[in-house]
Amino acid sequence: MIVAAPAEHHFPVAAACLKAGKHVLIEKPIAATLEEAQALAALASENGCVLQVGHLLRYSSEHKAISERIGKPLYIEATRIAPFKPRGTDVSVILDLMIHDLDLVLSLVDSPIDSIDAVGVAVSSDHEDISNARVRFANGCVASISASRISLKTERKMRVFSEEGYLSADFVQQELTMIGRKRGMPLPGTGGFRREALRWKDCDCLAAEHDAFAASCLDGAPILVDAEAGIRALDAAIRVKASMDDTRARMELSGLIGEH
């Protein structure tokens, strides 16, 4: 079963399917709350069902290119901006756009989140349309993630500073540059560093996601984006929203912004 309803309906629909013994592919976010997400994970386990979360970019060429080159990131910058579209405004830009990069960052950083400092504002909808979050991990890695859905152009970029080197990716232009020691052409005078430049081709991420779901259901293949990954991304998004609300409350208290 594929659950692609609005987020607030994910739990009742997916829970009914899992209780009936049906495997479920559920769109991101996994649920509206952590309690609902954890309940779905428990139901899947109890009923021996596959529960896969639709974080589509995990099946993309860009994710493969980055994850093959980066193992120990130290600092990450991610930007995702797009023109305004009415679709998706039933939730904040955090759950609409930023959650994609939250999931990508979490897939690269093998460490718990230590703290989050976030700001955001609603401009064209009832929820935040612009947001920036600074995420600190227990291992020392820091990620700065920005998202906007009221921009004049589409931009999706990521820069990663890591023990392996420096990586810059432009997801719109489908270009990646890596400065490291293992791949690419030698850079004279840099003490052994090399520069790799590559382009990737579009792949049908949705087809890849569905193929992976079918393989997990029929052949017992490992679930690439399981309930645990979905819960981790949702938890991060909820913590970004909580930090954003706390920042706004402190600014209102100090008189820096007016109350809404």
CATH number of 2-56+205-227: 3.40.50.720
- List, for residues 173-218, the tens digit of each pLDDT value: 999 999 998 888 989 888 889 999 999 887 889 999 999 999 999 9
- List, for residues 17-45, the tens digit of each pLDDT value: 999 999 999 999 999 999 999 999 999 99
Q: Provide the H-helix boundaries in 24-131.
A: 34-46, 61-69, 93, 99-108
Average pLDDT rounded to a whole number, residues 158-163: 95
**Is the pLDDT score of 235 beyond 80?**
yes
Sheet-wide strand order for 24-27: 2-3, 24-27, 51-54
Cβ proximity of 34 and 41 under 8 Å: no
Report the SS3 class of residue 168: strand
What global pTM score does this model have? 0.85
Q: Where in the chain is the domain with CATH 3.30.360.10?
A: 57-199
Element (H, E) at 253: helix 227-254
CATH number of 57-199: 3.30.360.10
Q: Where in the chain is the domain with CATH 3.40.50.720?
A: 2-56+205-227
CA pair distance 257, 241, nearest whole angstrom: 18
Cβ proximity of 230 and 53 under 8 Å: yes
CA pair distance 223, 120, nearest whole angstrom: 33
**Is the pLDDT score of 255 beyond 80?**
no
